[in-house]
Amino acid sequence: MHRRRLGVVVALDAEAQTLHAGALRHDVVVEVSAQLLLVVSGMGPGRAMAAARALLAAGVEGLVSWGTAGALQPERQPGDLLLPEVVFGARQTWSVDLPWRALLAQSLSFPAYAGGLLSVATPCGSVAAKSAYLLDFPLAQGVDMESGAIAAVAGAAGKPFVVIRSVVDPAGQSLPDAATGGVDAYGGLQALKLMRGLLRHPAACVDLMRLGAQMQKALKTLRAVAPGLQAGRVA
């Protein structure tokens, strides 16, 4: 085991705040510590790929996909931690650095679920979409939009990577349209869009409140994992 300078790609401000207590900036490399650099990329594979490349240009020796995910397996619940062994893309599969993953798992006092993570290009917010993805990728525990792009950049550069994702929405829950249409790429509220969505679908208010509570569970899990990552230890 030794210490390396690591680069973390985070899509959302709320996810980044579980690692960095200082002011956040978007799409630029931020030094969290001597061992940890971070980019808040915004959602989606294109943004994540650009962030991963910026971190490699800054000299990091390994990449981390950090944040939240939707569940694909019915047994996964909000706050469950996913430490996948593989990332599935539409046309390619990438293996994480397994010794590094094992070291992170051993540092925890709660379970971390292995298996795979599916990475897609567009939001996966409906129960039907989750069910369809699970049929095609039965080993996937969850789904996100950034990990595949980060894995591709790491693989092309010959660098190790790991994925650390906490579940927000279970497989049997569809996301209300306001949850995706009422925020910007970094998860910031767009008040007018959110209000219009709620005026059209007032019942979505209850769904948003439930989703907010689930997000807090997911963020609590990430905060519990953060010290092990911030130590900069890689097997």
Per-residue model confidence as pLDDT tens digits over 181-225: 667 899 876 555 655 665 566 666 777 788 989 999 999 999 999
Q: Which CATH class is domain 6-231?
A: alpha beta
Pairing of strands 140-144, 62-71: antiparallel
The residue among 10, 112, 92, 9 whose CA lies nearest residue 58 is: 9
d(CA 163, CA 101) in angstroms, rounded, equals 8
pLDDT tens-place string over residues 9-57 = 999 999 999 999 999 999 999 999 999 999 999 999 999 999 999 999 9
Residue 37, classed as helix, strand or coil, is strand
Burial of residue 227 (number of CB atoms within 10 Å: 0-12, 13-18, 19+): exposed
Q: Quote the pTM value.
A: 0.92
Q: Token pair of 192, please? A: 């007018």
